[in-house]
Amino acid sequence: MTRFPDWLQGFGGETVGKRITEPKNKAARSKLLDMPGDRIHRTGISLLTGLTLFLTLACPHQAAMGAAGRLEFSLYRNDGSEPGNTMLVVGGIQGDEPGGFNAASLLVTHYRFTRGAVWVVPNLNFESIVKRSRGIYGDMNRKFPAVSPSDPDFEQVEKIKRIIIDQEVDFVFNLHDGSGFYREHHVDRLRNPQRWGQSIIIDQESIAPIRFGELGDVARQIAARVNEQLLKTDHSYRVKNTRTREGNREMAKTLTYYAINNGKPAVGVEASKSLPTHLRAFYHLQVLEAYMRRLGIGYERSFELTPQSVKRSIEDNIQVSFYDNRVLLDMANARKKLGYVPLKKDAEIDYQASSPLVAILRQGSRYRVSYGNRRITELHPQFFEYDSSRHFIAVYVDGQRKAVGFGRMVVANEAFVVEPQEGYRVNVIGWRRAGVGNESGVEIQRKEIARRFSVDNAGTTFRIEVYKDDKFTGMVLIKFVDEAGASRDQAARPLS
Rounded-to-integer distance, Cα 283 and Cα 297, Å: 19
Which residue ranges make up each domain of the chain? 6-315, 323-384, 392-486
Please compute the mean of the pLDDT values over residues 77-87 and round it to a whole number: 97
Residue 164's alpha-carbon distances to 20, 100, 126, 304, in angstroms, are 20, 18, 18, 30
pLDDT in tens, 282-299: 999 999 999 999 999 999
Low-confidence winner among 154-168, 402-416, 474-488 (lowest mean pLDDT) = 474-488
Confidence of residue 59 (pLDDT cuts 50, 70, 90): low
Is pLDDT at 39 greater than 80 in this prediction? no
| H or E segment to which residue 111 belongs | strand 111-121
Angle of helix 277-295 versus helix 98-110 axis, rounded to 10:
60
Residue 331, classified by CB atoms within 10 Å of its CB into exposed (0-12), middle (13-18) or buried (19+), is: buried
Q: Among positive and negative, which fits the CA dihedral 455, 457, 459, 460?
A: negative
Tens digits of per-residue pLDDT, 353-365? 999 999 999 999 9
Q: What does the pLDDT read at residue 66?
A: 66
User: Is the predicted pLDDT of residue 137 greater than 80, yes or no?
Assistant: yes
Q: How many CB atoms lie within 10 A of CB 82?
A: 12
Q: Three-class SS of residue 14?
A: coil
CATH number assigned to the domain with residue range 6-315, chosen from the 4 options 3.40.50.261, 3.40.630.10, 3.40.640.10, 1.10.3720.10 = 3.40.630.10
Residue 102 CB-half CA count within 13 A: 27
- What's the pLDDT score for residue 338? 97
- Sequence-ordered strand ranges (E) for 323-419: 327-330, 337-344, 351-353, 358-363, 366-371, 374-384, 392-397, 400-405, 409-412, 415-418
Question: For position 83, what pLDDT does the model report?
Answer: 97
Which three-class secondary structure string do you get for 159-199? HHHHHHCCCCCCEEEEEEEECCEECCCCCCCCEECCCCCCE
Q: Is the peptide bond before 60 cis (omega within 30 degrees of 0)?
A: no
DSSP-derived letter for residue 334 is B
The confidence band for 24, taking pLDDT boundaries of 50, 70 and 90, is: very low
Cα separation of 443 and 449, whole Å? 12
**Which positions ≥6 away from 49 have C-beta within 8 Å?**
56, 302
> How far is residue 415's CA from residue 425's CA, in Å, rounded to a whole number?
19
What is the value of pTM for the model shown?
0.86
Sign, Cα dihedral of 270, 272, 277, 279: negative
State the pLDDT at residue 483: 64
Provide the Cα torsion 477, 424, 382, 375; round to 10°.
-10
The CA distance from 286 to 289, in Å, is 5
The pLDDT, as a whole number, for residue 41 is: 39
Averaged confidence pLDDT in the chain: 87
Write the CA distances from 68 to 36, 72, 118, 346, integer angstroms.
10, 10, 30, 22
Residues 6 or more apart whose Cβ sits within 8 Å of residue 421: 390, 393, 440
Distance CA(52)–CA(36), nearest Å, equals 31
pLDDT of residue 67: 57
> pLDDT-based confidence at 489, cuts 50/70/90?
very low
Percent of the chain residues past pLDDT 70, beyond the cut: 84
Give the pLDDT of residue 70.
82
Assess whether pLDDT exceeds 70 at residue 68: no
Q: What is the pLDDT of residues 177-188, one digit of tens each?
A: 999 999 999 999
Measured from the Cβ of residue 29, the count of other Cβ atoms closer than 10 Å reads 18
Nearest-angstrom CA–CA distance, 126 and 373: 9
Residue 143 has pLDDT above 60, yes or no: yes
Q: Which of the four pLDDT bands, split at 50, 70 and 90, describes residue 484?
A: low
For 225, list phi and psi in degrees, rounded to 5. -65, -45
Reduced to 3 states (helix: H, G, I; strand: E, B; else coil), residue 435 is coil
Tell me: pLDDT of 391 over 90: yes
Average pLDDT of 325-350?
96
Nearest to 372 by CA among 390, 353, 349, 388: 353
